[in-house]
Amino acid sequence: MARDASSRWLSRPPRVVLVLWAVTAAFTAYSCMYAFRRPFAVAQFTGLEAWGFDYKALATVAQILGYTLSKFLGIKFVSEARPAQRIAFIALLIACAEGALLLFAVLPRPWNLAGLFLNGLPLGMVWGLVFSFLEGRRVTEPLVLGLSISVIFSSGWMKSAGAWTMSTWGVGEFWMPSVTGALFIPLFILALWMLAQIPPPDSADIAARTLRVPMDRTARHAFLREHWLGIALLVVAYLSLMTYRDLRDNFMVNILVESGATINPGDFARIENRVGMVVIGLMCGVVLFRNNRAALLAVALSVGVGALTLGAATWSHTHGRLGPHAWMVITGIGLYMGFVPFQSILFERVLAVVRTPATAVFLIAIGDSYGYLSTISLYLMKAFTSAKVPWSSLLIDGSYVLAVLVPLCTLAGVSHFLRRVRRSRLLVVSVAETWAR
């Protein structure tokens, strides 16, 4: 009854009430999820090895292996999840993730790496479930922009929170992830309650953005057969950005140290706060597009410019014109100029253009799955080969690759969907004219 009353209240004009409520709920929920995933990244595990390999690299691989498998599972479970199931599903996933962090703390090394694998296993599905509350609305862009921006801010916040628990409370590196996660459980419960109050899309939303329905196996395969080329091109661009993001995010400590920077616990939050504020300003322009085709082209342009920024900033850094901290800020801006639209706006507008009843979280889950598969492949190659390439060198090389690959694949993928829609309309006109004659 309370939920029905809240939903009716949020459904009333002005829509800004719904926007502020939903943005706050989604931002808070996903930021809290990061408290169970990211604090681990600030631990350096200096001098530790497992089976002859660097312990930090293996720990990162273990967590991302679980996270990658979770993304593939999400293609089925998240795209099929019914609205009534989502809140309980998210709560169960977070509970499992915190339990896994406790295993990481109490199991003997190196067997405690299993705890990080089990920690990543549920967390990869949280994004899609939260996104499901927001998609298919006339105001989806500001809603999911707030959700995506949480990725930028919360990563730095939670790493700083983890560093703070170690420096202030004296928590050890192995207990720090579970302690940090536990601190955010009350706020996470509040965010889930707020998500549960969000009303479903109304008839005007459906008319503007198409009906969003859970997709079973048959519906997923039909969509892939129809648009496999466009999806493949966009996934290549998306997985490239995601691999770069995880490399920069998980090993920012190592990259800054290798670049000669001095690090303080608050540096991570300060870097990502600056990135987030700039990206918010840039992305607000995309929200203003009502025409779906124009919005899709604007998103592709943003992605391309962001990728080019990575290359330009890295060139300036390697030539001594940018210090390590400034390099992290500018590459963060370029990265999230591409990553945020991909993760939140691009696939939403693709469905609005093609007018096929479906769900954007299905397309996002595909991109996430292969993105993390690419990430884990990079980490495995570095961890299990004799080549000791510094993390900073990998980021530099990746910047130049993305500056070329991402704009090309994004523009080609978006062009595919726009051409298919144009052909479909021409076919409808042709059939109509034939029938008239």
Question: Is residue 143 a part of any domain in this protein?
Answer: yes
On whether residue 433 sits in a domain, the answer given is no
* CA 22/CA 9 separation, integer angstroms: 13
Q: What is the pLDDT of residue 3?
A: 58
**How many domains does the chain divide into?**
1
| Residue 432 belongs to some domain of the structure | no
Q: How far apart are CA 350 and CA 128, in angstroms?
A: 17
Alpha-carbon gap, residue 146 to 84, rounded angstroms: 23
Q: What is the pLDDT of residue 181?
A: 94
Tokens representing residue 417 in the block = 């969907």
CATH number assigned to the domain comprising residue 158: 1.20.1250.20
CA distance 270 to 258: 19
**pLDDT of res. 383:** 63
- Type of residue numbered 81: A
Residue 3 lies in a domain: no
Residue 301: Cβ-neighbour burial (10 angstroms; 0-12, 13-18, 19+): middle
Domain assignment present for residue 434? The answer is no
SS3 string, the chain, reads: CHHHHHHHHHHCCCHHHHHHHHHHHHHHHHHHHHCCCCHHHHCCCCCCEECCEEHHHHHHHHHHHHHHHHHHHHHHHHHHCCHHHHHHHHHHHHHHHHHHHHHHHHCCCCCCHHHHHHHHHHHCCHHHHHHHCCCCCCCHHHHHHHHHHHHHHHHHHHHHHHHHHHHHHCCCCCCHHHHHHHHCHHHHHHHHHHHHCCCCCCHHHHHHHCCECCCCHHHHHHHHHHHHHHHHHHHHHHHHHHHHHHHHHHCHHHHHHHCCCCCCCCHHHHHHHHHHHHHHHHHHHHHCCCCHHHHHHHHHHHHHHHHHHHHHHHHHHHCCCCCHHHHHHHHHHHHHHHHHHHHHHHHHHHHHHHCCCECHHHHHHHHHHHHHHHHHHHHHHHHCCCCCCCHHHHHHHHHHHHHHHHHHHHHHHHHHHHHHHHHHHHHHHHHHHHHHC
* The predicted structure's pLDDT at residue 257: 87
Q: Which domain holds residue 292?
A: 10-426
Q: Which of 337, 344, 404 is nearest to 368 (CA)?
A: 344
d(CA 304, CA 310): 10
For the chain (437 residues), the mean pLDDT of every run of 10, in chain order, is: 61 77 92 90 82 82 89 88 90 96 93 94 92 86 78 80 90 92 96 92 82 82 88 92 85 85 76 81 73 86 93 93 90 90 81 80 83 78 68 90 95 88 44 35
Q: What is the pLDDT of residue 384?
A: 66
List Cβ neighbours of 373 (8 Å cut-off, separation of 6 or more): 68, 239
Inside any domain, residue 327: yes
> Does 241 reside within a domain?
yes
234 closest CA partner among 125, 135, 347, 386? 347
Q: What pLDDT is stored for residue 14 in this prediction?
A: 67
Structure tokens at 219: 């519906």
Contact indicator for 245, 339 with CB cutoff of 8 Å: yes
